[in-house]
């Protein structure tokens, strides 16, 4: 009896070893889940604190284009929330589908969407004047690394199919 159980375990273990997950996709997926979660928490804080700021900004500078500034703040906040949710969902998809080469297309699509939203968000930040030092530019480049590496992992998964 003991020999049969050991043989079954080894067969199961061999099957598990054959179904290796794409660790690259899984690790970058976890990083995106963390980043998306932090982004969501930050956006909730900014939402509550920002409402007071926007209200004060509009009342203080309506004659100097404060209404446009308020709309820019609201638009960037909405984009930030959407980007955080999409980044979180992309990370979940990567972790969940790291063993499924047939789901690589979903991971690639979400990875490209995440990368595009990040680029648009950073362009808006640059145009709004919030990126104004070399450190900010380095942070933007570093922020591009995780979605780009996620895409590398997703394309590796697709190659297994």
Q: Which of 150, 157, 155, 154 is nearest to 115 (CA)?
A: 150
Asked if 89 contacts 21 with a C-beta cutoff of 8 angstroms, the reply is no
∠ CA 54-138-51, rounded to 5°: 10
pLDDT of residue 152: 93
Q: What is the pLDDT of residues 50-103, one digit of tens each?
A: 666 666 655 655 555 555 666 777 777 787 888 899 999 999 999 999 999 999
What's the predicted TM-score (pTM) here? 0.74
């Amino acid at each position: 009896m003991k020999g049969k159980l050991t043989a079954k375990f080894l067969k199961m273990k061999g099957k598990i070893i054959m179904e290796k997950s794409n660790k690259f996709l899984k690790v970058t997926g976890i990083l995106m889940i963390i980043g998306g979660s932090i982004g969501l928490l930050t956006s909730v804080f900014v939402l509550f604190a920002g409402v007071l700021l926007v209200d004060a900004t509009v009342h203080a500078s309506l004659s100097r284009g404060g209404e446009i500034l308020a709309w820019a703040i609201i638009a960037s906040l909405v984009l930030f929330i959407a980007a955080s949710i999409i980044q979180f969902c992309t990370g979940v998809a990567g972790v969940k589908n790291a063993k499924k080469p047939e789901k690589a297309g979903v991971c690639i699509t979400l990875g490209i969407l995440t990368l595009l939203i990040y680029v648009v968000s950073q362009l808006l930040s640059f145009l709004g004047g919030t990126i104004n030092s070399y450190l900010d530019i380095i942070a933007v480049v570093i922020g591009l690394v995780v979605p780009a590496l996620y895409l590398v992992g997703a394309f590796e998964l697709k190659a297994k199919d």
